[in-house]
Structure 1
Amino acid sequence: MDGHSLPLTEILKYALPKLQKPVLFRNMLRNSDGSYEWKLLKWSFSDLVEKFGDKQLSFRVGDHNKCTCTLQHHRRRISPPTKFCKLTLREFSIATGDMTKEGYDKWLYCDYKYMKEFSDKPEIVESFNWLKFGIDKEFGKNGLHSTIWIGSKGAHTDCHWDTYGYNLVAQIHGRKLWLLYPPSDSLIPVRVPYEESTVYSKFNIYCLSMAERDLLLKIPDKPKLIILEPGDVLFVPNGWWHYVESLDNINVNVNIWGKLKTDNRARVKEALVKLIVARMRNYKQFKNKVTTFYAREIEYVVTECIKEEEQEKNEKTELSLEAPLKRFKPTIWTAEDLAKQYPNYIEVLRDAEEHEFKEFIEERLKRDNQKDPLDEETTSEDYVSNPQHDSFLESLTNALCHPDVISKVTQVLLERHC
């Protein structure tokens, strides 16, 4: 069967895991009469408040217009320290009203919240699904395997790339700004602060310094800038850098990570990084410091990776022995092919114009003018006073955990244990 004769859902099932460029889906979640298919998109924010009821969510509280000199991430020691608060969605809505008052410069962010935590709210879990995008039925038939992100203006996700899968993000309420860069070392990958499956950039894009501005403008790769509106769905390929910021006082989006065959090796890499960081950093999240504990974890994921890769190899061999007429070779789609074939639904993201990118940078540079005094008295190993100058220990940790180093170690490890 020719790939072009397949329905779009089937095409995306084969195309998305192989796409190398981000694309924007518009109108994919609308019916022929213009209404939304997802109940989640049909509901107003007031509806969502009622459906969440008295369920309390954990929100990070950060500074909206002040440079903290470090990433405003919850695992990072910053000054002032990142605060947390528990709020219902109704209380969050009231708080965002206070944020419009003059002089209020805080943001709230309930980020990376797994929908599994809302299994007691089946109406919310069943209010959306990812089947139109070719996600496996068991995995994408509802929102159970998704995450939800709820934030106010200024809430942001620091620049990073994800080690597992590809990312599908649906905007529900408000607008969200995305800055994307193709995979490269230009944005300086680091694993401190540590978060599993997340490789952060050294750049504090939310509050850029003059030095960071100069470095960003010298990067040869052209960035992409996109503002997601409600109903938009963004596809982010594996390995693409992305920085995300809420533009409106109430912002809600959901996402899911699609599976990739490379996830097997990514698990080995993440286990290696975990061992190094746990042994070298004084993180409270690593209560067990015994090397053999993490070595056993690495051994387990290596065994599983080899087993799965052998299984894939055997399946390919079996397919090659079948009669030619029974074999199906899906068309290899590029982002441009999809956009040309389905112009009403799919759009390739263009490179940001020079004036657009400079305007983006200047807006975030202004925040650097209102620096908070640093808290010099800290015993935390996570503290670094300048985002461009690490302690030697941090430099050493990041060097040992550099993606190129970890990839080479993974390759050697798998080859020796095959």
Structure 2
Amino acid sequence: MNPIAELDALDDVKSLQRDNQPAVIRGMVSDWTLVKKAASGLPALADYLRSFDVGHPFQAMIAPSSQGGRLFYKPDLSGFNFDRLNGDLAEALKILEALSDKPNPPTFYVGSKKIEEYLPGLEVETPMRVLPSSVAPSIWFGNASVVATHNDDSENLACVAAGSRKFVLFPPDEEENLYLGPPDLTPAGRVVSLVDLQAPNLKAFPRFERALRNAQCATLRPGDVIYIPTNWWHNVEALGSVNVLVNFWWRD
């Protein structure tokens, strides 16, 4: 795999969009209070998030530890290898705290919750100065997990606030080499690759080897930001026992 290009700073997203190439900006949001609270440990992070909580219910995903963190299909593609739990932020944080001390915990994952709706006020403390204020952030959190290769029909700036995340990206024209799953049954609304990036079966998916030759990879730490262009495929692995990501989707 090739490394994703790194920038010293980001002053204008237009240049990134013109290049249509991913980029990593180290330490771009390291001054966020969210990042600093997370660095102090889970109790400080949980207290900080609870201070914005308005109690809206949402769904989380939980998968047994035997799945190795991968949120995916059952072997016969008839359903998924995880269950969905309904609850609120306080309950989710209790689960995350309980799992953080276990040596081989189940995977717990909360994806894409709009901050203005679920944690109003936090968006003021997670600014993205290179984007218009109308571009609203979303938050993702949980423990170690693997989200299968998928793409988005929007530009994306993703900011790691806690833990670390490994991103593997594929250009849009590698779609035919990614072996996509059923479009009418998806884990989270976007069609995903059937290839397990951690252990690709090249006998079953021989063209995936071509995709790997054009893949780009980077591991982000707290405060780092990655730009993912529209329709670029990305596999995301959260590596820590506590992980928080804030992202900004937008279309021109």
| TM-score past 0.5 threshold | yes
- Structure number with the higher strand fraction is 2
Task: Please say if residues 72 and 82 of structure 2, whose CA atoms lie closer than 8 Å, have aligned partners that are also in contact.
Answer: no
Tell me the equivalent position of 2:37.
43
Cα separation, partners in 2 of 1:69 and 1:160, compared to 1, 3 Å: closer
Q: Call closer, same or farther: CA 1:63–1:90 in 2, change over 3 Å.
A: closer
Cross-structure match for 1:126: 124
2: CA distance between counterparts of 1:13 and 1:70? Answer: 31
The runs of at least 4 aligned residues of structure 1 exceeding 6 Å deviation read 67-70
Distance of 2:203 and 2:180 partners within structure 1: 17
C-alpha displacement at 1:188, in angstroms? Answer: 3.0
Q: TM-score, normalised by structure 2?
A: 0.77
Amino acid at match of 1:20: N
* Aligned counterpart, 1:22: 22
User: 1:192, CA displacement in angstroms?
Assistant: 3.4
Q: Distance in 1 between matches of 2:69 and 2:239?
A: 20
Q: 1:240 aligns with which of 232, 244, 248?
A: 232
- Rounded to whole Å, the distance in 2 between the matches of 1:167 and 1:115 is 16
State how many pairs are aligned: 229
Structure 1: tracts of 5 or more residues without a match: 1-6, 30-35, 261-418
Question: What is the correspondence of 1:261-280 to structure 2 with a 5 Å cutoff?
Answer: none
Is contact 2:152–2:190 with CA below 8 Å preserved after alignment?
yes
**CA deviation string 1:110-136 (max 9, x = no partner):** 0112213225x42x23211111xx211
* TM-score normalized by the length of structure 1: 0.48
1:58 corresponds in structure 2 to 59
Are the counterparts in 1 of residues 69 and 146 from structure 2 also a CA contact under 8 Å?
Answer: no
The answer for unaligned runs of 5 or more in structure 2 is 1-8
Shift of 1:8: 5.5
Q: Distance in 1 between matches of 2:137 and 2:240?
A: 22
**Residue 89 (structure 1) shift:** 1.3
Matches within 5 A, 1:12-411: 12-29=12-29, 36-44=30-38, 45-53=42-50, 55=55, 58-66=59-67, 71-72=72-73, 77-78=78-79, 80=81, 82-84=83-85, 86=87, 87-98=91-102, 100=103, 104-119=104-119, 121-122=120-121, 124-131=122-129, 134-136=130-132, 138-140=133-135, 145-153=136-144, 155-163=145-153, 165-184=154-173, 185-190=176-181, 191-194=183-186, 198-205=190-197, 208-209=200-201, 211-212=203-204, 214-219=206-211, 221-260=213-252
Tell whether the 8 Å contact from 2:160 to 2:245 is kept in structure 1 after alignment.
Answer: yes
Write the deviation string for residues 200-257 of structure 1: whole angstroms up to 9, x where unpaired: 2232436644635644224474211211100110001112110001111111111011
* Higher RCO (CA-CA < 8 Å; seq separation 6+): 2
Verify the 8 A CA contact 2:31 2:223 in the aligned structure 1: no
Rounded Cα–Cα distance in structure 2 between residues aligned with 1:126 and 1:245:
27
2:4 corresponding residue in structure 1: none
TM-superposed CA distance for 1:147, in Å, is 1.2
Task: Give distance in 2, aligned partners of 1:222 and 1:61.
Answer: 32
Other structure's SS at 2:203 match: helix
Question: RMSD of the TM alignment (CA)?
Answer: 3.2
Aligned sequence identity (%): 20
* Structure with larger Rg: 1
TM-aligned CA deviation for residue 43 of structure 1: 1.4
What residue identity is the alignment partner of 1:254? V
